[in-house]
Structure 1
């Protein structure tokens, strides 16, 4: 039986309904979220303000159930390379390269970057991000139109086709809180709608006002400094990975996110504070602890393989030529760094010495 910590929190053992939170993690890992900037040109979020609320779930847990919190810490401690955002990459005879874990948000605290990262970026010969297409959203949108099925339902269906009237009403109400009318986005694929639900209204408001998220800021500053910017993936590849997962999985994830309601702001706040503290290995245990009850999370293993592990290997392979030249500054989502299939481990397997800086 699941141990209740307090409403909306439960034990770290994986239970039914986890897919929504795994999707949330992927959305924060994927540069796919940057595509919201493009969407903002057509569907501006009419949020009341850009000040974020949200409580740290782990602070609550530590006070209410210290043993459950200790369990999360123990699980996080098992994650390979689970601590640290900023890493130095060395190989004899080469100028050092650098690896920064990012969070694809506009929070000013995140934009500040860890100590030493600004100097490393400024000294680098080349800046590498998940997708260099973030530098030109209009061009990225044009490329997406080549394969509209990656973002839109092109067979005449709408999101309501997959939902009961009650669930459609819940989706409409949740989008309305973010200033997004359902009619304007009803033909979007469910993973696109999930990205709106995942982000708090304050983040949507900042994006709608033109604020850059960390990855984009790094790329923009590189261009201003006359440095080349390279991408490890294309947005089309990222969206194709999402599209390869069965629609039923995405629909369940969307509804589970909606069921969490305002608790989503707490999840985002907690993820942000974990990021700022460099405790990246705690992210997934925390998400599992707050996952709502639901139906069995079918397709999870396939989801993890396609959205996380497979992409990590692709990134490591494509980064190799630039690392072999030395002087590269690589900035990718922080959850791509951790675990046995994370970039830190994969680059070590390629013969590089990868050491934590922050």
Structure 2
């Protein structure tokens, strides 16, 4: 449960990001140069999907590296308690303080239909937790995750797992975004019973399968998601910039396999561009 909820939060953040530049169609990139003795690899994941089969080039990159680093250290035993401590609204607030009676009824129907429980049981839960609970419902298949698959690989190869940021840092992303925008997205999801989001998610999976990381970001430039509007710096750019020095440190220490949401790769302030600006050679790995 801890891992599924963590993945849902990560997925929500990834789904709400945009920035683009011209790049090859690839989700796997080799990091070389600037004194690195051995190359490291950058892999763009999708956190919730139907198929996590790893391509041969990804398997080879995993064999050539000795450490797996993801957005979060998914093995952190304290993750659940840390998430729970940031799960609730403060000062006695509830969802009723942010939405109309009609909108509340729509959200209640959404959770009753898809989660089997009334929103009345979760009125004081923050909106990004509520939204993240619904993401597995957008798949027409049993949920799989590249992060969980990479954890299995780490276990098989007897390797450690590290994280580029803490769960506190990921939770703060949504602390810094106005609640009214987050609730607006939840209400929109409720009013068409996830229809728009399911169609959008299916399109995203198709683009991901084509490894078109630029188009993946471009399709996310969608005004239907108010949480995105005006919050790009919080959702994506600041996090990418914070990761670069950490990626450098890991790569200098040992050949490392970095697995982060594919939405972080492209763009002027994407991880690929920022690593290149830092002096590294970052090249697409294509079969």
Q: Secondary structure at the match of 1:324?
A: helix
> What is the match of residue 29 of structure 2?
87
Q: How does 1:258-297 map to 2 (within 5 A)?
A: 258-260=190-192, 261-288=194-221, 291-292=223-224
- Looking at structure 1, the residues matched to 228 and 259 of structure 2 have their Cα atoms a distance apart, in angstroms, of 29
Question: CA offset at residue 135 of structure 1?
Answer: 2.4
- Looking at structure 2, the residues matched to 304 and 32 of structure 1 have their Cα atoms a distance apart, in angstroms, of 23
Aligned 8 A contact 1:82 1:282 in 2:
no
- Looking at structure 2, the residues matched to 180 and 267 of structure 1 have their Cα atoms a distance apart, in angstroms, of 24
Compared CA separation, residues 325 and 333, structure 1 to 2 (3 A): same
> What is the match of residue 340 of structure 1?
268
- Looking at structure 2, the residues matched to 227 and 299 of structure 1 have their Cα atoms a distance apart, in angstroms, of 36
Compared CA separation, residues 250 and 220, structure 1 to 2 (3 A): same
Compared CA separation, residues 206 and 116, structure 1 to 2 (3 A): same
Which residue of the other structure, out of 9, 28, 46, is the alignment partner of 1:103? 46
Question: CA offset at residue 326 of structure 1?
Answer: 4.1
- Looking at structure 2, the residues matched to 219 and 186 of structure 1 have their Cα atoms a distance apart, in angstroms, of 34
> What is the match of residue 141 of structure 1?
80
Which residue of the other structure, out of 71, 76, 99, is the alignment partner of 1:130? 71
Q: Report the count of equivalent residues.
A: 273
Larger radius of gyration: 1
| Runs of 4 or more above 3 Å deviation | none
> What is the match of residue 300 of structure 1?
229
- Looking at structure 1, the residues matched to 62 and 177 of structure 2 have their Cα atoms a distance apart, in angstroms, of 35
- Looking at structure 1, the residues matched to 71 and 280 of structure 2 have their Cα atoms a distance apart, in angstroms, of 20
Please list every run of 5 or more consecutive structure 2 residues that lacks an aligned counterpart in the other structure: 11-18
TM-score between the two structures when normalised by the length of structure 2: 0.85
Deviation sequence 1:285-320 (CA, Å, 0-9, x none): 32346x54x9xx59833x100110000011112111
Q: Secondary structure at the match of 1:99?
A: strand
> What is the match of residue 106 of structure 2?
170
Q: Secondary structure at the match of 2:115?
A: coil
- Looking at structure 1, the residues matched to 87 and 282 of structure 2 have their Cα atoms a distance apart, in angstroms, of 37
Compared CA separation, residues 236 and 264, structure 1 to 2 (3 A): same
Deviation sequence 1:57-106 (CA, Å, 0-9, x none): xxxxxxxxxxxxxxxxxxx9x62436320101112551111110000014
- Looking at structure 2, the residues matched to 82 and 160 of structure 1 have their Cα atoms a distance apart, in angstroms, of 46
TM-score between the two structures when normalised by the length of structure 1: 0.69
